[in-house]
Structure 1
Amino acid sequence: MDICFDSFTAEAIAVRFGLNLANTVGCSKIEVNSDSVEVVNALSQGYSSSVASSIIDDCYFMSLGFSHVIYDHCNRERNRVAHELAKLARFSSPRVWMDNAPDEVIPLLVNDATLLMNE
């Protein structure tokens, strides 16, 4: 993003990007996690009166193309991979990875997978 004045808009843009990516690779069932309760609520309701309302509308209409969508609030402690990726994105050019994660996040992904297996 070139300019973004608030975190709500940044998070909504990130969700729109993720929905577009999921659609591009052919996903039909998705779960969207965000550490912003406000964004999760707006996405779940399909409506927002914020400055990002058009982005929330985009997300709503994009979500209609999936057979199953879950929007879930995920606190920052459970969202360490996304946090690390956001830090990396600040200082590198945009990239998409499908099979091989950046080396910096592999330990965090392993930790997340371990936690999931133990639930």
Structure 2
Amino acid sequence: MQIHSFVADIITIAALAMRDGLVFANALGCNRVEAESDSLQVINFCNGQTTWWDIAAPIFGECLDTSNSIGKVIFKHCYRSCNQAAHVLAHFCYCNKTSFSWLDEPPDIVVSRIIDDVSLF
């Protein structure tokens, strides 16, 4: 994972986030992945519902290549309000100029948000 300091637009950073997540899943040896994004444009491209001819096009190409390497990838849109854990984590990493990942226990800064994201009303 890396911090992207200079990005042309929001779609590009969302595409980079999708690519980085897929690369991480592939490196872990996952062969069935559910990839979520709050960017409907990213999900529509990855699902083949739209084409993209912009600065993000090569990144989307990497997303598709990596998803083909993984095997079975399901791309799903989720509203930002339903994924506050990702927002809190991204904000923390940006403010602290750091990045990290975990495989077991999530970091304390997102535990309450994860519980909120999966709680039934």
TM more than 0.5: yes
Question: How far 1:62 moved relative to its partner?
Answer: 0.6
Question: Secondary structure of the residue that 2:22 maps to in structure 1?
Answer: helix
Aligned to 1:79: 83
Question: How far 1:111 moved relative to its partner?
Answer: 2.5
* Superposition map of 1:30-49 within 5 A: 30-45=33-48, 47-49=51-53
Q: How far does the alpha carbon of each residue in 1:8-45 deviate from its partner, in whole angstroms, 9 at most, with x for none?
A: 00000001100010011111111111111111111111
Question: How far 1:50 moved relative to its partner?
Answer: 1.9
Question: Secondary structure of the residue that 2:70 maps to in structure 1?
Answer: coil
Partner of residue 108 from structure 2, selected from 103, 115, 119:
103
Please provide the CA RMSD for this pair.
Answer: 1.6
Q: How far does the alpha carbon of each residue in 1:83-105 deviate from its partner, in whole angstroms, 9 at most, with x for none?
A: 11111111221112211211110
Task: Please identify, of 93-102 and 4-13, the stretch whose mean Cα deviation from structure 2 is larger.
Answer: 93-102
Percent identical pairs in the alignment equals 33
Question: Secondary structure of the residue that 1:65 maps to in structure 2?
Answer: helix
TM-score (norm 2): 0.88
Alpha-carbon distance between aligned partners in 2 of 1:9 and 1:97, rounded to the nearest angstrom: 24
Aligned to 1:62: 66
TM-score (norm 1): 0.89
Moved over 4 A (4+): none
Greater RCO, 1 or 2 (C-alpha within 8 Å, sep 6+)? 2
